[in-house]
Structure 1
């Protein structure tokens, strides 16, 4: 193999390449004339190594993660690769037997050897890799030298052309859509949506306004909101719920809208708070359903004219964000239903078991509560009357507890309160407040109290609270009894 000829073939063509993809394509094409290897050039674009040019395979990977995300769950972490290893280390890798390298990422089923070298800018920083894979015997040492010299010349030409290609807006859209899907909470999702809107639109500020049960509200801010975004949020907060409602209504009634950047024309009344904040460019896109969604506002202090494609992309982002937000809310409702009593709305046995398992000995008290004479109500007036009694009593007991105390329904007419106390008599005082609250509803309750002992199982603590409750029943009901320490 005449390696000098390989270098000449590439060197002659590179200076005439007018774009980075063209320079990369000429490099792999020249290599293809001298070797049957699969040749691929991958360049760093945002957080990925994107395949810019390739030859010699039926299929290649479009992109490879540039770095490993150690914070991601194991199931979401990308597969390792020689390409990523070489880019991260800046050191070439010659793999004579790919079956022996755990980082090998298969491109062809018959590959036996791989050579990967970094592509650097003139300052020596890696900007990508040149990867070669063979399916027949090859001596890697001379190819390593040739590939490194080719990569250096390619890196210089890429730098002269302005560096690796920028991430396209459609690529940004896909990246952010993936972030929406992975968001674990409403807050994370709204933050991701605002960040995505700014990134895709190239405008400096984004604010999400959502309808809620207590009226419209501003979505979660990003960690580093700019000055304009902070001013917009302040103006919208001062404007009040009615003004936010009008913005949402306008967006859903008439659809997306954007400014033309023409001076001397006043904004509609709905958007006066944004112009007071300094916004001169605005894209407003409806989010979700009119009665449950909101509006995404993307703005800038500069007077610009967003093109319709930008608006379309923001609409796609808003649609994807809403779909993911609706999914998160549905899952939250299902979890709440699974852990709550459908009659009273109180949490039931599952969450109660988790709570008492974490009880602090000497600081946590369990109050076992039983409704006196409940069976007589059911037998005399029917189950509907019994249900109404339980709902009313649950509300009364909740009202008598302090902030942070927890009430559970663990059976038909059985409740348990878990409270934090500094001494046993404090628990007795809370239990007496509960009995007084029950009396105000026209019913009485019996309450047994137990404080967890060091090393005691939750079931044993609850058993002692039940025994204390039975002691109240034996003494005539409508009272409180503290289990012996």
Structure 2
């Protein structure tokens, strides 16, 4: 084997490759002409050793943790490994069952830092010492060429995969919108992105980025001034005709719905539908520069928009399920679970509990039936909610038992709120009895509620339809 010829062959091929991927593929192809070994180049990209080029094998790992296997060991230590018997090395990662020996060398940049590894595995006898020296020289030339081309980098599809994982992990709509916008900018390489999503009133501008640039600020201002109809036209166009892009060239006037974006300075725009027409929105990815977004970029944005809608729909479904789990299905009020959590945070002397019982409710059920009783409870729930102040909370904790949790500055304020509730009940032809209690220092929420109940029973004994404050 003329190892000098191997090195000359690889060296001659490297300048002809114009990308990091092509350089790695050329290296593997050149080496494969001189040895039957299984060959792979793995480069360090965002915390993983990513296989960029390899010869055929039953399984080639797309990524490997930088501390896993012989390749991870070589990368981490920056030193070559010669393994004459892979069965004796616990770090060996099997890619084919008949591999006997392995040579792995670090791919170093001109400063001596590892940027990846060059790995060769043999199924039969091989001059491992000679191949180690050859592989190290090849890896040195490979590393210099990789750095000259800008170093290892993610492909756009790899970026999309990484961002998709971040979007899936988002726990709120706000986090999801931020992740989607960041992904759109990173994958498309355009300056800014805006997400428009529909709510009950129509399309709305989504959350802005943490530090919006000038173009995003101008786009938001122009779209806000143009009003909801402008957003609706942009969204409808995307859903009716599909994703599209514009080059914004001079001499070609924009369509009416794009005029606010042109006024903002947009010259390149991709508009991608998000979700179904009746509930979704549109992803706008834009730049002030006059660029030519190729169809592949638009396709990637379509995949991103699909992932965004899938994650958004999941979050909204979970919110609905949580709301259903924490709400009374009849009245829509929260029930005992959330109530227990709320009173656990009650502030002594400031948080008042109002225990409420519907007077004569049993006779309604007995005389007119449970459907009539349900109508009474629903009507009363709405009346009581309307009488409470902003920030006050109403819970249904039993058949005809309600509790209001309110923040007050003194007991008399709690009594006045309770009296407003009794007046609201009278206006719909019902009466209620209300017991009021404020937590004492060191008192458990359960005991506070018990005192409110005792005050309520005192109202019942006195003839119902009234308010009683528990003794301090």
State the TM bucket, normalised to the shorter chain. 0.7 to 0.9
2:420 corresponds to: 433
Alignment coverage as a number of residue pairs: 468
How far off is 1:346 after superposition? 0.8
How far off is 1:98 after superposition? 9.7
Q: Which deviates more, 474-483 or 52-61?
A: 52-61
2:308 corresponds to: 321
Of residues 222, 226, 236 in structure 1, which corresponds to 2:213? 226
Matched, 1:284 2:271: yes
2:462 corresponds to: 475
CA contact (8 A) 1:428 1:449 kept: yes
Matches within 5 A, 1:70-89: none
Aligned partners of 1:137, 1:473: CA distance in 2, in Å?
A: 97
Structure 2 CA distance for partners of 1:35 and 1:15, relative to 1, 3 Å: closer
Matches within 5 A, 1:60-459: 60-64=60-64, 91-92=78-79, 118-130=106-118, 151-160=139-148, 162-164=149-151, 166-459=153-446
CA contact (8 A) 2:115 2:152 kept: no
> 1:378-434 CA distances to partner (integer Å, 9 max, x unpaired)?
333333332222222212222222332221111111111122334434333332332
2:43 corresponds to: 43
Q: Which deviates more, 106-115 or 21-30?
A: 106-115
Structure 2 CA distance for partners of 1:310 and 1:427, relative to 1, 3 Å: same
How far off is 1:474 after superposition? 1.3
CA contact (8 A) 2:267 2:286 kept: yes
How far off is 1:215 after superposition? 2.6
1:16 corresponds to: 13
Aligned partners of 1:462, 1:111: CA distance in 2, in Å?
A: 73
Structure 2 CA distance for partners of 1:32 and 1:398, relative to 1, 3 Å: same
Structure 2 CA distance for partners of 1:459 and 1:175, relative to 1, 3 Å: same
Aligned partners of 1:243, 1:26: CA distance in 2, in Å?
A: 52
> 1:299-335 CA distances to partner (integer Å, 9 max, x unpaired)?
2212233333322322222222212211221121111
Structure 2 CA distance for partners of 1:29 and 1:296, relative to 1, 3 Å: closer
CA contact (8 A) 1:28 1:41 kept: yes
Secondary structure of the residue aligned to 2:341 is helix
CA contact (8 A) 1:447 1:472 kept: yes
Aligned partners of 2:380, 2:351: CA distance in 1, in Å?
A: 23
> 1:40-93 CA distances to partner (integer Å, 9 max, x unpaired)?
421134554310234585323102356xxxxxxxxxxxx966756765x56448
How far off is 1:347 after superposition? 0.8
Aligned partners of 1:157, 1:331: CA distance in 2, in Å?
A: 50
CA contact (8 A) 2:10 2:31 kept: no
Structure 2 CA distance for partners of 1:103 and 1:467, relative to 1, 3 Å: farther
Secondary structure of the residue aligned to 1:43 is strand
How far off is 1:184 after superposition? 1.7
1:58 corresponds to: 58
Aligned partners of 2:303, 2:265: CA distance in 1, in Å?
A: 26
RMSD: 3.7
CA contact (8 A) 1:119 1:152 kept: yes
How far off is 1:146 after superposition? 7.7
Aligned partners of 1:250, 1:22: CA distance in 2, in Å?
A: 40
Q: Which deviates more, 283-292 or 102-111?
A: 102-111
Matched, 1:463 2:463: no
Aligned partners of 1:336, 1:100: CA distance in 2, in Å?
A: 58
Aligned partners of 2:184, 2:46: CA distance in 1, in Å?
A: 17
Secondary structure of the residue aligned to 2:199 is coil
Aligned partners of 2:459, 2:97: CA distance in 1, in Å?
A: 77
> 1:130-187 CA distances to partner (integer Å, 9 max, x unpaired)?
456799999x999988866654343123224x14454333333333333332222212
CA contact (8 A) 2:393 2:405 kept: yes
Structure 2 CA distance for partners of 1:145 and 1:365, relative to 1, 3 Å: farther
Structure 2 CA distance for partners of 1:109 and 1:477, relative to 1, 3 Å: farther
Aligned partners of 2:79, 2:116: CA distance in 1, in Å?
A: 12
Q: Where in structure 2 are there 5+ consecutive unaligned residues?
A: none
TM-score, normalised with respect to structure 2: 0.84
How far off is 1:194 after superposition? 2.0
Aligned partners of 1:241, 1:455: CA distance in 2, in Å?
A: 53
CA contact (8 A) 2:248 2:254 kept: no
Structure 2 CA distance for partners of 1:201 and 1:31, relative to 1, 3 Å: closer
Q: Which deviates more, 233-242 or 200-209?
A: 200-209
Secondary structure of the residue aligned to 2:354 is strand
Structure 2 CA distance for partners of 1:98 and 1:409, relative to 1, 3 Å: farther
